[in-house]
Amino acid sequence: MGRMTAPTPRRVLLAAPRGYCAGVDRAVIAVEKALEQYGSPVYVRHEIVHNKYVVQTLEKKGAIFVEETAEVPEGSIVMFSAHGVAPTVHEEAAERKLATIDATCPLVTKVHKEAVRFAQDDFDILLIGHEGHEEVIGTSGEAPDHITLVDGPEDVRNVEVRDPSRVVWLSQTTLSVDETMETVGALKEKFPLLISPPSDDICYATQNRQIAVKQMGADADLVIVVGSKNSSNSVRLVEVALGAGAGDSHLVDSADEIEEAWLDGVSTVGVTSGASVPEVLVDGVLAWLSERGFEDVEIVKAAEESIVFSLPKELRRDLRAEAAALSAE
């Protein structure tokens, strides 16, 4: 049993940036706009972003989430999630005469393009990422014969390539920066001529959220990360918080998952949220903490973010066409 009363003063360190990234914001707005434009149902292949609350809210508005395009009735509208899809999924959709809207984050598309280019140049591509994650499945599908998945530093010993002088590493966008660098270090020891990607594959949003959590980690007795269990970047934030010295860290979908016992003996609580988490859920956590005496909130700012992505092109085209029709009336 720990102490039953928390020492004073009690304070909250609130990470900035946190929550929605540009890719998630765009994907969620795309589903909402598609529902307005075409009416319900709009089918969405896989969770549009990895957040339970977002998915449930969009379901209520008329989105239908499916696992595979085969579940979508012929001739319907289907949206692809922010995590991206393999080219075979586009082909299946075309066969079923589905109207597609591709909400793949442009920063994931960038990695797809790198994979295509290096495969065309006949490189072996070592894709650092988590086995089974949708993004990794999509990226691997761009060049299945050239890509080998490397799931963390321990996996490096299993990696084999055809020609060690033509090898490049790429990565999933939502990994831990530090762990990825560890994996790259191990790969470079094994393949000294390994080439790095032309620019960072781990996206700006993932990096910034990790930097903010690192800044607060050592000062926090507890770090609460708001995010869903299947959200890669949110899970990484818990690991980064603990690695940075936080006394404890937990991932919660919302305030009702927080356990009172976590506050036992705690005076400083860090709060952050993954890139797919709406701010309303963070507000709920702050309100929960405030009710327990954690009213003093200090912002820990790691970066300014101003990136905004335009809506998927198929949607922009139809929205423009409608605007033109209305103005012609």
Catalytic residues: 135
Using DSSP's 3-state secondary structure scheme, residue 215 falls into helix
- Confirm whether residue 133 is marked as ligand binding: yes
CB of 51 to ligand SF4, least distance (A): 11
The CA distance from 167 to 286, in Å, is 47
CB of 22 to ligand SF4, least distance (A): 5
- Which residue number, 139 or 173, has a Cβ lying nearer to ligand SF4? 173
Q: Which residues are near ligand SF4 by CB under 6 A?
A: 21-24, 82, 105, 107-108, 173-174, 203, 205-206, 233, 275
- Which residue number, 24 or 255, has a Cβ lying nearer to ligand SF4? 24
- Confirm whether residue 112 is marked as ligand binding: no
The CA distance from 225 to 260, in Å, is 16
- Confirm whether residue 203 is marked as ligand binding: yes
DSSP state for residue 224 in the 8-state scheme: E
Q: How many CA atoms lie within 13 Å of 317's alpha carbon, on the beta-carbon side?
A: 7
- Confirm whether residue 104 is marked as ligand binding: no
Residues 53-72: b if buried by 16+ CB within 10 A, e if exposed = bbbebbeeebbbbeeebeeb
- Confirm whether residue 233 is marked as ligand binding: yes
CB of 122 to ligand SF4, least distance (A): 27
CA nearest 28: which of 306, 232, 309?
309
Beta bridge partners of 271: 14, 224
CB of 178 to ligand SF4, least distance (A): 17
- Confirm whether residue 83 is marked as ligand binding: yes
CB of 282 to ligand SF4, least distance (A): 17
- Which residue number, 203 or 252, has a Cβ lying nearer to ligand SF4? 203
CA nearest 65: which of 53, 76, 79, 75?
79
Neighbouring CB atoms inside 10 A of 10's CB total 18
Amino acid at 276: S
Copy the structure tokens of residue 263: 């506050």
- Which residue number, 11 or 209, has a Cβ lying nearer to ligand SF4? 209
- Which residue number, 149 or 222, has a Cβ lying nearer to ligand SF4? 149
Residue positions forming the annotated binding site for isopentenyl diphosphate = 50, 83, 133, 231-233, 276
Pick out the residues of the known binding site: 21, 50, 83, 105, 133, 173, 203, 231-233, 276
Known binding-site residues for [4Fe-4S] cluster equal: 21, 105, 203
